Structure 1
Amino acid sequence: MAKQNGRHGDMMFNNVYKDKKVLVTGHTGFKGTWLTTWLLELGAHVCGVSKDIPTKPAMFEELGLEHKIQHCILDIRELEEVSAIINDYEPDFIFHLAAQPIVSESYKNPIETISTNVMGTANILEILRNYKHTCHAIIITSDKCYENVEWIWGYKETDHLGGKDIYSGSKGAAEVIFHSYQESFFSDSNCNIKLATGRAGNVIGGGDWAADRIVADCMRAWSVGDKVEIRCPEATRPWQHVLEPLSGYLSLGQGLVENANIHGQQFNFGPRAEQNHTVKELLYDLSNFWNFEKTSDAYDVTDNIPFHEAGLLKLNCDKALFNLKWEANLNYHQCIKFVSEWYYTFYKEKEDMLDYTTKQIREYQQEAALKKLKWCC
């Protein structure tokens, strides 16, 4: 199992991850791959648990991470097998990202979505209930856990949970399970297990090839000269680069180490308010990096809308700012640049993508240092 020396990650997140054992579930997915890469940059030892390589191509394979970490292929729903890995590895931190993450897939396979997102989370909490070592666990759900009433204000952590689709319901249920486990088994302030949940959404970035995600759909089409079909061009989203919520999750892990009051809490992580843009605006800005002569060559609008899609959903992140001193780093145009340049480099430049991904992480850290954000000081 390889470990980087953390030279470029020194003092990030107050060095709480350096030389620590970190277990990441869902490590072969889009967010999991970025998180694994960042943890290696921070000098952590990483063990990953995922049921498969979810896409082709897959960022995890393109970066060659199988040879950099302890790599385990296992379904998070297999309680005894996952328990054996965790108790053998003895992690100091757990980031639980493993999930069925696609809304459209939840309509096709609702039971699998519920069992993965709810029972997968319950399994991690059940394993931690009997875990004998000190561990800080960050349970990742989604901004879709909220009952979305399409209001213009950001949702707070105290707002109602729910959802009009199976995916949203499964994420709301995962939050309820977390709360019940925390109150039942981890409420003692002297407990060896410290837990919190992180909620984020509308995450974009290089290396996402999942089905029915707008950026992934664009890059698949544009890389071969095709148009992309979009369903809801006027739908508004608070787009954020994947490193934004990951900096929040890593800050949350740091908070669990340094502040007893963080234990058992829920936190939203979202972009700046000015990052609300329509799908149409997003595609226009992304397409500028692909040298289309006119925007109409980049996409077509279709009226084929097979499932409900929210018109607006954004988060209030005041709690993260107050308790963790966390705030978003990139503006919208920086976000678009990071995303576009990663894909353009992959498809057109043929660089070593682990080196390039690490380069973007370092650029993100440097930008945060210029802003004097707490986690990088």
Structure 2
Amino acid sequence: MKILTVIPAIGSVYGGPSKSVIELAEALAQQGISVDLITTNANGDQTLDVPLHTWTECNNIRIQYFPYLGWQDYKWSFALGKSLFQHIKDYDLVHINAVFSLTNLPAYWACQFHQVPYIVTPRGMLEPWALSYKARKKRIYFNLLERPALQKASAIQVLAASEAERIYPLDLVAPLVTVPNGIHRHHFDPPATAERFWREFPHLQDKQLILFLGRIDPKKGLDLLAPAFAQIQQQFPDSHLVVAGPDNIGYLPIAKKLFRDAGCQDAATFTGMLNGDLKYSALAAASVYVAPSYSEGFSISILEGLASGLPCVFTDACNFPEAAGVAKIVPVNQAQIAQALHWCLANPEDASAMSQQARQFIFENYTWDKIAANLVEIYDAIIQNQPLPHLHA
């Protein structure tokens, strides 16, 4: 089985979606699948320092980068589109990641022209909140370009059952298959230590850290977190919020003002993006994880918080109701977020017991090897023109 994965960009500044696509591709390769990945060299307002127009091998997958032209939120790559039309017949199936992306349009069209089946993963971008953000532009794009492509897909992969429920009103005819994101167990077992994070941020060493791990973006709910944390900080004076994530859209000054206006800016540290061992060390240093999002597809960051054995607080907009027994899942509401954070800090023994259950829950259900095996079944069914397994009911 030969699979082509298409994604507009995999630069680290794009956070969880980039990470999940790469890790899933690597996990598929571990299942014995031949996986190629094509993308652009975009990385926010920078470009990746990578070879262009040639295959590079990394962790058993091949990746090819192409240059692009950027305008506002959009990227277009003539070279990538040309390559797709030339080589897409070499693959049994194409897996296209993201919607509202000009980069992906040639992938749709090449698949249709050469009759190669394709599956699309919107990664939360068809959620109601996401559709309402810059709604007029998205409505035009969706009706003219995205909907026709989605209607011809062999399947649409959603990351959670609740995401599927919110997509149904769009009346798409392509079947929905639910395949979540995952983690690599070896990144969390044995657990990381906090030493590296303390070396980078020694002034935080004696604090009770609440960790926000995500992009600095309006949908991430920092406007809710700022007043909620201000309340927590009054109740727990040694608490400190770590906001760890990249700012791709220039939202950082607004985000910092939210904390100034709430009167807790001195107890909040914006670290920028944390990657690799430093990120895992930050998770080890934290006392609580929080994700106050208005909308998520299925957050890798939440999985990482749970797998790290942290008490986790996140909103029901994060599409993870399955974790209700092992995390504090609250409505998208400032008071409810504050109440859940208070419980975690005020009840350390109960919070620790909950978080250890969460850790085991993730290891049993959300590792990439299990998820990749399920996706291979779906790929095989599409290629063989058989009924799809694991369909959302």
Q: Does TM, scored on the shorter chain, surpass 0.5? A: no
Larger Rg: 2
TM-score with structure 1 setting the length: 0.41
Q: Which has the higher strand share?
A: 2
